[in-house]
Structure 1
């Protein structure tokens, strides 16, 4: 099958390569001319035979909006656009409606597999019309693993909604492994922390690919000394928590994992400053002052303020 691929970065480039190895003809476009087959989106569309299929693999948000808008002006009725990035499902619904008004199909595809997908295949969660999905099945069959790894999750938006929840679960699992590692490191009871994680890889209920990757990381750097404890979030965790609020579904683990990532980016926690100040005020507990300043103890100025009669702590 012939397909256009827009965005040939770490994910898009590997996906294009897996499709080529599977016998498909891929015409790729990227802003980097060194990896691009054509000079523009217009050239890409002209290289494809109608009815066309174009897979968009660019960052979510404005880059995706702009790319789909331009494709909408270049493609014809009967063509299909697939958004395989990490878009918000509400954006998919808008894109589907806009392209549908021109007779152009739209499929949203949540993709999981990272840099290992070229070798192992990609898990695909797709949303869209049944006819569009069936037409694209040769592409999906080549990209996915040999067993499982594919679901037609529902109408437009369902694919990225499923991927959003997947990533929220991933947040929680990663946080659990992280907290377990920190506790083992803090204790002097377990002397081989990397070995403990390695022992869990087979025969335990927490064996998983994430555990395998953590063991791999600990083999390379047993104390993780070369890393900084700073974790970004790409948006899906926030959207998962927001969707939980919209549907009144409690997600305490995923929400806490998202907040832990926020905390990782703070050099000095503003919230903990308030906690420290309040402990000093009501109990005279010592505080750690910034360099060059004097911290307050129980005998410091301000520590003798009388609490109201009902205050305790």
Structure 2
């Protein structure tokens, strides 16, 4: 299949690379010329602009957007609009708000698939988890590419109509906030508790057969191995918060109590003025799964 990829940052490079590795043809564009050149080196056909990318694609265009949520997506869609019709498919693989995805699905001439993407840069090796919303026929058309970009056929599914993919990803991120906070609180108690413990050893032991084993716990082990048990150079400042905020707002609108997610979000905001070990671990965990920059103590 011929696939256009717009946006070649950390995640977009992985989408293009995994599609190429699976034998698909990729036409790639990014505003960063070096990123385009790097994609060309591994087999992608470069494009100098969004319109040129559209022109290089076949009669039935399949285009994957991996650009920041918000105005950047609307700008790319505006550039694409003259080149699209109802037989084409556009995938939005970023962290867009689900209501924005519904709006874009209604206004875009092509079939629009909102694709919640989880797995971070580690997806380069193992593939992503993809939560997809939009027309069933369009999902079926892109399934060979989804097989390549995800962990395999079990790593993606159609959640429902337009907006549902990003809706599921939004809730996923809220759960992620709560899990990170729970690990942080547990390790803070161990760190400040009765015994002088090697927290890397604790994390490794828990992750071998314990009920609470997980990838996030593996990242805790990694953090302690690389930063030391005290995490003393890692700042108590946890960035991010948009998807968690959206999750809490949706819970309020649906009158569903989410006290754990809400508290984790409040802790994240509180990290910008106070100091806690739990938040230092959350700061470092964001680097583990997403390669987000680690804020450091001055």
TM-score (norm 2): 0.86
Q: How far has the Cα of 1:234 moved from its partner?
A: 4.6
Query: Is 1:5 paired with 2:8?
Result: no
TM-superposition CA deviations, 1:98-155 (whole Å, max 9, x none): 01xx3x1111000011010010110000001111111111111111113622121000
Q: How far has the Cα of 1:76 moved from its partner?
A: 2.9
Please name the residue that 2:210 is paired with. Answer: 204
CA contact (8 A) 2:134 2:161 kept: yes
Aligned partner of residue 125 in structure 1, secondary structure: strand
- Name whichever of 154-163 and 35-44 sits farther off: 35-44
TM-score (norm 1): 0.82
Once superposed, what is the RMSD of the aligned Cα atoms?
1.3
Please name the residue that 2:260 is paired with. Answer: 253
Please name the residue that 1:27 is paired with. Answer: 27
Alpha-carbon separation, structure 1, partners of 2:21 and 2:76: 26
User: Any residues of structure 2 matched to 1:17-166 within 5 Å, and which?
Assistant: 17-36=17-36, 37-99=46-108, 102=109, 104-146=110-152, 148-166=154-172
Q: How far has the Cα of 1:235 moved from its partner?
A: 1.4
CA contact (8 A) 2:132 2:166 kept: yes
Alpha-carbon separation, structure 2, partners of 1:147 and 1:96: 25
Please name the residue that 1:174 is paired with. Answer: 180
Q: How far has the Cα of 1:190 moved from its partner?
A: 4.2
- Return structure 1 stretches of 4+ with deviation > 4 angstroms: none
Q: How far has the Cα of 1:34 moved from its partner?
A: 1.5
Q: How far has the Cα of 1:39 moved from its partner?
A: 0.9
**Structure in which a larger fraction of residues adopt helix:** 2
Alpha-carbon separation, structure 2, partners of 1:44 and 1:210: 38
Gaps of 5+ in 2: 37-45, 276-298
Q: Find the partner of 1:221 among 202, 221, 227.
A: 227
Aligned partner of residue 33 in structure 2, secondary structure: coil
Aligned partner of residue 154 in structure 2, secondary structure: coil
Alpha-carbon separation, structure 2, partners of 1:176 and 1:147: 31
TM-superposition CA deviations, 1:86-105 (whole Å, max 9, x none): 00000000000001xx3x11
Alpha-carbon separation, structure 2, partners of 1:220 and 1:24: 37
CA contact (8 A) 2:96 2:166 kept: yes
Alpha-carbon separation, structure 2, partners of 1:238 and 1:229: 20
Alpha-carbon separation, structure 2, partners of 1:91 and 1:147: 27
Q: How far has the Cα of 1:73 moved from its partner?
A: 2.8
User: Any residues of structure 2 matched to 1:232-247 within 5 Å, and which?
Assistant: 232-247=239-254
Higher radius of gyration, 1 or 2? 1
TM-superposition CA deviations, 1:210-243 (whole Å, max 9, x none): 0001101111112212211111125111111011
CA contact (8 A) 2:113 2:162 kept: yes
Alpha-carbon separation, structure 1, partners of 2:2 and 2:241: 31
Alpha-carbon separation, structure 1, partners of 2:102 and 2:197: 52
Q: How far has the Cα of 1:267 moved from its partner?
A: 5.3
